[in-house]
Amino acid sequence: MAHEIIVGLTGGVAAYKVATLVSELVQHNVGVTVVMTRAAQEFIGPTTFQALTGRKVLTHVFDRKAHPLGAHIEVAHKAELLCIAPATANLLAQAAHGLAEDLLSTLLLSFQGPILMAPAMNSEMWEKPAVKRNVAQLRSDGVHFVGPNSGWLSCRQQGEGRMAEPSEIRAAIHNLLSIGPV
């Protein structure tokens, strides 16, 4: 594999779109390790991503057998980029405030490379001042963003908050890794 990245999924209905993203990355010779929160697993199962990547999907902070030093350390050291899609309001708040309560948020604190987030949430949530402050803080901290877009949302409304399309996220990843056009 030419490049190694981590794709982190949080609990949003847009998680189903991440299967397409992961498949496209693997087809473009990118090694992908998937990390899922418990909430993400309510929307799509780890088996999907294991089949697409050929790798175990990481879901727990403590897996001493596979990662004696901690997955948040070992996985972080092997990857060039961390992409979180969908990035929910909760994840944005955790990241902006340095909270670590699961593998993905702990990994965010230990990861040293570029971080790309693809927010996805209801438009009313996206417009909240707290969410805007968290995004501004993360941008100030050097986090990159793709989206959200405007369009049809799972709450059956039109508005801003729709996760960027897999092709947009893949292009942003390729740009950050300086791979070139996709």
Annotated catalytic residue: which of 155, 159, 160, 175?
155
Residue 120 in contact with residue 12, Cβ under 8 Å? yes
Amino acid at 23: S
Please report, for residues 40, 82, 136, 165, the alpha-carbon distance to residue 26 in angstroms, rounded to integers and kept in the order given: 21, 15, 31, 17
DSSP 108-153: HHH--S-EEEEE---HHHHTSHHHHHHHHHHHHTT-EE--PEEEE-
* Integer Cα distance of 144 and 141 in angstroms: 9
Cα-flanking dihedrals φ and ψ of residue 62, to 5°? -105, 110
* Integer Cα distance of 50 and 64 in angstroms: 20
- Residue 83 known to be catalytic: no
Residues serving a catalytic function are 155
